[in-house]
Amino acid sequence: MISKIATTTALRAGARTFTTRATSGARTPSRFPLAFGAAAAVGAASLYMLPSVQLEGTPTMAGELSTTSERSFIMIKPDGVSRQLVGKIIDRFESRGYKLVAIKSVVPSADLTRQHYADLANKPFFGELLKYLTCGTPVIAMVWEGKDVIRQGRNMVGATNPAAALPGTIRGDYAVTIGRNMIHASDSFESATKEIGLWFNKQELAQYMSSGWAMTMEDN
C-alpha cells in the first residue's frame, strides 16, 4: 500500500489534468486526462511500466474515488464561525488523519449559494437557507483528502437534523436545529467534484505529503 500511496502522490505531483464535470460524466471510464498528465510527468515511454493502480478510476477535482486522493468539500457554516467552533471542527478532521488541501474564509454571494444548493431550489426552506448562508458572517470552505473521506466526512458531520444526530458527530455535539446545523459535507463523489470546482480552482488545491500520511493511510 505504501508503494501505491507513493506512486499516486508522485503522479499527482505531475501535470495532472483535472475535470470539474459534476455528473455521471465524471465517472465515465475515459482515462485520457490521467494518462495525459502522467505522460507529461514521467514520459510516455515509462508510463506503461507503472502499476495499474495509477490508471484506476477517473480523477476529478475530488481526486479519485476510493483511493487516498479522494477529496471532500467541507464547509463550516456562519453559525459555526460565529460560535467560534472552527478550531474544534478542523481538529476532528486532522485527528482522524485526513489532509487539509485547501481552506479559505468566504462571505458567500447569493449566486454562489444558489449554485451550491441548486438541488434544493424548490424546497420550502430554500429562502431561509439562502439568508442564513449570505448573512455576512463568513463560512470556512475546505477540501479534505484521504481514503473514504466523502463517506467518513458525512459520518463525522452526522444527520442533517441535529435532533437526530448521534452524540460524537459534529452536529450531534454542537448543533440543535436543522436551520443552524453548523457544517456541510459533500454527499457523493459527484457532489464533491461539483462543490470543490465551485468554491476552488485547481491551483488552490495543494499537493503535498503530510508527515503521518503513510502511517495513517496504509492498510494490510
Which residues are identified as catalytic?
A: 184
* Buried-state track 145-174, b at ≥16 Cβ within 10 A, e below 16: bbbebbbbbbebbbeeebeebeeebbbbbb
Buried b (16+ CB within 10 A) or exposed e, 35-53: bebbeebbeeeebeeeeeb
Q: Evaluate whether 100 touches 74 at the Cβ level (below 8 Å).
A: no
Strands (E), the chain: 71-76, 99-106, 139-145, 183-185
Among residues 129, 141, 165, 196, the one that binds ligand UDP under rule CB under 6 A: 129
Site mask for Mg ion (CB under 5 A), range 154-193, x = bound: ---------------------------------x------
Q: Closest CB to ligand UDP among 181 and 193?
A: 181
Distance CA 202, CA 92 (A): 25
Residue from 181, 193, 199, 213 touching ligand UDP (CB under 6 A): that is 181
Q: Does 125 bind ligand UDP (CB under 6 A)?
A: yes
Binding residues for ATP: 77, 125, 154, 160, 171, 181
Q: How many CB atoms lie under 10 A from the CB of residue 90?
A: 17
Which triple of cell numbers denotes residue 59?
A: 480523477
178 binds ligand UDP (CB under 6 A): yes
User: Segment 10-49, which members bind ligand UDP (CB under 6 A)?
Assistant: none
Say which residue the cell 455528473 belongs to. 23
Mask of contacts with ligand UDP, 147-176, x by CB under 6 A? Answer: -------------x----------------
Task: Tell me the C-alpha distance between 31 and 48, whole Å.
Answer: 13
Residue 208 contacts which entry, Mg ion, ligand UDP, none (Cβ below 5-8 A, type-dependent)? none
Tell me whether residue 16 or residue 77 sits nearer to Mg ion (CB atom). Answer: 77
Q: Which does 125 bind (CB under 5 to 8 A by kind): Mg ion, ligand UDP, none?
A: ligand UDP
Among 25, 168, 179, 212, binds ligand UDP (CB under 6 A): 179
- Residues shown for the chain: 220
Q: Which is nearer to ligand UDP, 30 or 160 (CB)?
A: 160
Q: Which residues bind ligand UDP (CB under 6 A)?
A: 120, 125, 129, 160, 178-179, 181, 184, 187
The binding site for Mg ion (CB under 5 A) comprises 187
